[in-house]
Chains A and B, each alone.
Chain A
Amino acid sequence: MGEFEVHRVRFFGLVPAGVRCLACQPRGGRLALARTDGAVEVYNFAANYFQEKVIPGHETRSVEALCWAAGDRLFGAGLSGDITEYDLALLCAARSVDGCGGPIWSMAANSSGTLLAIGCEDGSVKLFQVVPGGIQFERNLDRRKGRILCLSWHPSDTHIAAGSIDFLRVFDVCSGQTVQRIMVNYHVLKVRRECIVWSIAFLSNGTIVTSDSFGRVQFWDWQRGTLMESHTVSTSAVLSLAVSEEEDSIVVGTSTGATYQFQLLPVKMGSLEKRWVRTKPFQHHTHDVRAVAHSSTALISGGLDAQLVIRPLMEKVQKKGYDAALRKFTFPHRRLVSCARKARLLLFQFSQHLELWRLGSTDETGKDGEVLPLCRMPEHLVQLKSKGPEHIYCSCVSPCGSWIAYSTASRFHLYRVQYEGDGVSIKKVPKVPKLLLPAYQLQFSSDSGSLFVASARGSVHVLQLLEPGGCKHLHTFRPPSGSSEAVYLLASSADGHWLAAVGGDWAIHIYDMKCFKVGAGAGGMTPTSLPPWGAGCQWVQRIGPLPVSHCCIPRAGLGMGLWEEMGGGHRWPRLLPSACCPPALQHHSTVPMYNCAVTALAIHPITNNLVIAYSDQQLFEFSIPEKQYTAWSRMVQNCGLHRVWLERDSPITHITFNPKNPSHILLHDTYMFCVLDKSLPLPDNSALLMNQSTLKQLPETARQRQLHAFKICKKFQPLLYADLLDENCLVMVERPIMDIKTQLPLPIQQKKFGT
């Protein structure tokens, strides 16, 4: 595996926000999730539950309910009283409509997705029509006192069941009248406590299922208003409930962190009489399970401990593979840490601030596994607070450590950091170019000379960074065929030649940043005086011998700007009118489409091969100069990866390389760090994938025979970020789960036997 000096970083104090609500796309393969900080995430079932889209939160925009309507439109409603539609292409809140009923506690769409019902603080249930480009208020249903905490449409869309405190009501949608009112705490009248109906579901056979704060799951006949069955599952509240589409299975979540499954089972073999039976209990969470969802193959639960747990139903899974794995997601599937390799700095991204840390250092060496004493402690240099209620989308620190950039939904910030001895001064770069915001990913070039900004509609902006603290918009790359999705991953080559960008449609575009030369005919220009639009510049290749380092297309799309390399570090700007530009001038190639989400990619510093990790755990290597997959990549596809590798449940989130060992690829996910040695044979399914510990015990000759390409280390967990600082120095950013647990409120006290 090779020996590394590892900086084991545990000072990234990230506390992920708890899960507030979940919504499965009807008949679709997506899951929408809202967190307590207002962030909305979309997970794709087809892409191995990859966290496909993230819409960062907003201080004033809490989300209490999410629902899909009209196909793939996502709506959220919260205590601010607004109904918000999310733009999943631009990853932002598209438009908001005031519900006019105070805080909204619940929202549900009818089965056809044409109507939204909201339950408000004032006890009203309002219907909104989903129209193209927004929603329209339709009417109010019969209003009574008592907040509406949960809503459910009958599958025929004729009735709505609404849960409130101490009772539930059934509305007739046509007349708008309350047709049934059921007291839920009738049987426990001697207890002078209010019974909160936390969640409700209306089944097609007229059964209403409620879960309440007394820990009961009850089945009601709505027409007679009678209780059919009552199951006490917990001593504390049952907070959430979800029904499968076939209505034969229910999952409930309780405030003790346990989830239970109910199944509709025949009482006797072959008989038609069926009964709801509580079957499997699961205890994956430590805190309230505020949201549950029931997909066709899995039970999904989200808790205040920020975990999203996907527990597959074994009987519904066809083959044992990665569908059958229990998944627990606590951390986002994207990078929150960036590293300035040369300056040995780490930038941590929190929801509303950034922290810049300097790594500690040691002057001692030791054996494998030894902990070295630090001669200099890690130092917290700067905390950058984002102004305003918006949360940070992305951030980055340049390799030299002197630039920091971050973006929120509406603003882009660039800072110049200067180090004077032990002190640090930070200066905001004024007058940053007005870009199409937000930026979804930021990446500095390896020479810290330019900044790539991933933006909406598949575009990537290139900004040039100027000393002593300025920047200039150089160019914008766009996919030749156009795209509506935002770019969420970027990778630039070490020589500054190539840039790879991945959009929400999972297409990987490679742009050439040195594809044309600019002639010397335009000498004598000053940087400020741009040449007039001339007809003489037809093709850039013909312009002259001086190389062009960067080019950009202004947002207006009027033409093209060029920087002519004059030698000696001097550059001259030039503008070419758009008519002069070839349509896909800078676009080099597109990696063949693969039907899975890209989770990480990186360009090899020497060979300029693009290494791509997909959410189904496949690895590809694409040679950019040759515009085709490399021989190694073809070999991997022919042989197939190891079964255990494919059954891992967390995606690769970062790839990096070791310049000293060109055949090594360093990659990591949340639970492992792997050095992939291309020079060694691939393991077959009979071999042990994680063989590092057994290898250590073998004699040298046997070890040589047992070696294979995957050298996996599971020592560092959960791993948020790993990077190579120099050839034998690694930095690992861990966030122990126990540290997060201590930040959470105390869980419900439970008597545990034997303690």
Chain B
Amino acid sequence: MEAKELSVVLDGVDASPKCIAFGREGEYVASVKEVNLQVFFFKRKQLNRFSVSTVKTKSGNNQFACIACHPTEDCIATGHADGKIRLWRNFYHKKDYTFSTLHWHHDTVMDLAFSMEGTSLLSGGVESVLVLWHNESNCQKDFLPRLGSAIEYISMSSDGTLCCTLHTDNSKPKHILSRDVKTGLVVDPRTKALVLNGEPGHLQFYCLQSDQQLFSLDIVQRQYIHQAGLNQADLVKVAFSAQGKWLATVEEREEVTDPELQLKLWLYDEETQSFKLNTRINMPHEDHITDMCFREMDELEDDSLILVTAGRDCVFKVWVMVEDTDPEGSVSWSCDFVGSYHNYQATNCCFSEDGSLLAVSFEETVTVWDSITWDLKCTFCHPPGKIRNICFGRLTCSKYLIGATDYGFLCCWNLLSCALEWSAHLNVLVLQPDPLSEHIAAVSWLSKESSLFVFKPNEPRPIYIQRNLCKEKIQLAAFVPRDEPETIVSEKYHWLRRSQLFFLTDTQELMTLSTKSLEERLTPSSKQLAVEESLPVTPFSLLLGKHRRQQSHEDIDLGKQVHNKHKQDSPAVKELLHTPAHVLPSASFLCPIFINSLLISKENKSAEEVADEVEMESEKTEDDSDEERGVTEMEQEDTSAMELLGEMTRKLSKSQEKELRKIRKMDYSWISAF
């Protein structure tokens, strides 16, 4: 169908589809923008404009946000930015128009929908409550609360029995990216999952391998109030003990004068497979907590477990477990030691690998403390510039302490000689040691690009440099241990053998470094092999396998990549179609791979086509009975293959069948030659 005639009936129409609606039986069309409502009557060719007062009251402005028309009556419902819903009637009179007001939402009404009969009206907004208004009455309404997230769109099914709501966070159904990852990227030692802020006040455990949110832990345990401009308690720091038995979280509520802080310690409960709140400490510090770490001593028992928190109130505190006096012998945490240094703000803290030393940075100075006696052992500093990150070296490099200053220096101090070993001029934003090797990754930010440097503390020369990693600022990084060490041939990438490095940029993109090309990575080759190996040895499978092998041989001979005529069989494409859209790389990246996978090499194709044509002719000459028999045979084979191959063979198309039949009828003597 094609529109023959076009005429402009409304101008100044908002781009959003929520701002325009057709009225009863298509008699009129109504649109809202800012403070104006326009109604155009098709039959009378009349345009009526109404406006609400532009005066901004203290309850907010009354600009229009959305519109819906009654299905059977002349009634228009409009939602406003101040949360009111106006029901307009008599709007075919320019002067006698009237409206009534419904008010429950405290913030913008995001969408409206009438029920099919028009007896009730649905509205939703940032409160994430679906409101059902009966009979246009302000007093009769029902609520469907706690829908999880702000309601963006509401739609009614045509029979009026179902209602569909679309929420603002629905674009990321599995992995919720919160606006600000305050907790940093932390790896759960137990599940190897990446742990970071999820829903407000929640901690999400995100499995990188399966790209799934494993679970979400409610840390704040308070009702989240969906309202703009409210200061809500949120999670700012997370730390796991070495085995993942203990979890420490810090939540705070942004208050200008005095922040509300809470330190919570959670114990992993084997029975429920979840963390259970063990200790809650109100106001552990007078001011914001800047850093927190556990003493990681894998071999020792619980009694050596120590938590250190550093705060802007110029102290660091050491928390230890104490046994409760009650008969169950349960434990709780309390403060054991408070350390300070010249009344400087404590900014970072870090335990050495063996747990004997604690390094705490106080603005420009790094202090090293004995973790048993809590004596100040020595101090390091590299003026000018405050310490941004510190970490101890590991394994063979455990005698080194690495620090990065905000003046653009990366320093390495030798703990034995208490002297500066080397320093480099580098504006380091992120300093991340690999827990399984001596390698330390440093991400620098210079001239609007991020660069990655990987080095070992014992040699001042980096072993790997990746300039221009990305254009965005990298905020956080984490080494995620691999399940099994990867075999990496290249010396350059040898540091990636035991763990994988992940980055989070300030545009909330999660990136990783990989030695393999995307296609290789997307093809779980081992899996494919497994499928082929599990094929039972039947004549058909033999046939199929041989045929495949032959094809691949041909391909290799031709020096081409693996291409299959049937695109479903291309692993790259299959992976592309089966991978969730939100974790795929950008379309520009995928495009060549996709196109390549569709291409069929010229020589190959022409040869096949010629063969096909020849075969077709010969087929036609065959007698009918033969063909019938062939078909029945085919069906039998087909079902058996289906049982075995599952999805793969189900996708056999007509042409494939034909091809198979063709193969069967062919003289196989030439195969034996291979």
Contact = CB atoms under 8 A, between A and B. Distances in A.
Interface of A: 215, 231-235, 261, 263, 265-269, 277-281, 314-315, 753-754
Contacts of B106: 753-754
Given A263-B98, A279-B89, A281-B101, A233 B74 contact: no
Given A279-B100, A754-B106, A266 B74 contact: yes
B24 interface: yes
29 contacts: A215-B139, A232-B139, A233-B138, A233-B139, A235-B139, A263-B90, A265-B89, A265-B90, A265-B98, A266-B74, A267-B73, A268-B24, A268-B72, A269-B27, A269-B74, A277-B98, A277-B100, A278-B100, A278-B136, A279-B89, A279-B99, A279-B100, A280-B98, A280-B99, A281-B101, A315-B96, A315-B97, A315-B98, A753-B106
What are the 10 tightest A-B residue pairs by CB atom distance, in nearest-first order?
A232-B139, A279-B98, A279-B100, A315-B96, A315-B95, A267-B73, A265-B89, A269-B92, A265-B90, A268-B74
B588 interface: no
Interface residues of B, number: 22
Max chain A CB contacts within 10 Å: which of B27, B106, B137?
B137
A234 B138 CA distance: 8
Interface string B611-643: 000000000000000000000000000000000
Contacts of B72: 268
B140 interface: yes
B92 A277 contact: no
A230 to B, nearest CB: 9
A748 to B, nearest CB: 15
Contacts of A753: 106
A21 B337 CA distance: 76
Contacts of A215: 139
Nearest to B23: A269
Contacts of B96: 315
A268 B139 CA distance: 25
A277 B89 contact: yes
Contacts of B95: 314-315
A261 B139 CA distance: 16
B373 to A, nearest CB: 55
Interface string B1-42: 000000000000000000000001001000000000000000
Contacts of B92: 269
Nearest to B135: A231
Nearest to A235: B139
A98 to B, nearest CB: 43
Interface in B36-86: 72-74
A281 B139 contact: no
Nearest to A229: B135
Contact of A277 (B24, B97, B101, B136): B136
B contact patch SS:
loop
A268 B89 CA distance: 9
B22 to A, nearest CB: 15
A313 to B, nearest CB: 10
A279 B136 CA distance: 10
A284 to B, nearest CB: 15
B97 to A, nearest CB: 8
Interface in B72-124: 72-74, 89-90, 92-93, 95-101, 106
A280 B72 CA distance: 22
Contacts of B139: 215, 232-235
B98 A268 contact: no
A281 B85 CA distance: 13
Contact of B137 (A265, A278, A315, A754): A278
Nearest to A260: B100
Contacts of A280: 98-101
Contacts of B24: 268
Nearest to B96: A315
Q: Which of B24, B73, B96 has the most CB of A within 10 A?
A: B73
Nearest to B59: A754
Contacts of A265: 89-90, 98
A215 B72 CA distance: 28
B98 A231 contact: no
A484 B96 CA distance: 43
Contacts of B98: 261, 263, 265, 277, 279-280, 315
Contacts of A268: 24, 72-74
A232 B139 CA distance: 6
Given A278-B100, A754-B106, 11 more contacts: A231-B137, A232-B139, A233-B138, A233-B139, A266-B90, A277-B136, A278-B137, A279-B98, A279-B100, A314-B95, A315-B98
Nearest to A273: B73
Given A263-B98, A280-B98, A232 B140 contact: yes
Contacts of A261: 98
B37 to A, nearest CB: 16
Nearest to B24: A268
B127 to A, nearest CB: 11
Nearest to B138: A233
A315 B72 CA distance: 26
Nearest to B27: A269
A234 B140 CA distance: 10
B225 to A, nearest CB: 11
Contacts of A266: 74, 90
Nearest to A232: B139
Contacts of A263: 89-90, 98
Contacts of A267: 73-74
Contacts of B100: 277-281
Contacts of A281: 100-101
A232 B137 contact: yes
A215 B137 CA distance: 12
Contacts of A235: 139
A269 B48 CA distance: 14
Nearest to B90: A265
Nearest to B41: A269
User: Looking at A232, A234, A277, A753, which has the most chain B CB atoms within 10 Å of its CB?
Assistant: A277
Nearest to B88: A279
Contacts of A231: 137
Contacts of A232: 137, 139-140
Nearest to B44: A269
A529 B138 CA distance: 82
Contacts of B136: 277-278
A309 to B, nearest CB: 18
A712 B140 CA distance: 49
B305 to A, nearest CB: 45
Nearest to A262: B100
Contacts of A278: 100, 136-137
Interface string B368-412: 000000000000000000000000000000000000000000000
Nearest to A263: B98
A263 B96 CA distance: 11
A342 to B, nearest CB: 48
A521 to B, nearest CB: 76
Most buried by A among B27, B89, B136: B89
B118 to A, nearest CB: 10
Nearest to B94: A315
Nearest to A261: B98
A267 B96 CA distance: 15
A3 B101 CA distance: 48
A261 B137 CA distance: 13
A588 B89 CA distance: 60
Nearest to A277: B89
A554 to B, nearest CB: 61
Max count, chain A CB within 10 A of own CB: residue among B90, B93, B95, B136: B90
A218 B227 CA distance: 37
B239 to A, nearest CB: 37
Nearest to B106: A753
A26 to B, nearest CB: 24
B668 to A, nearest CB: 79
A265 B89 CA distance: 8
Nearest to B92: A269
A271 to B, nearest CB: 9
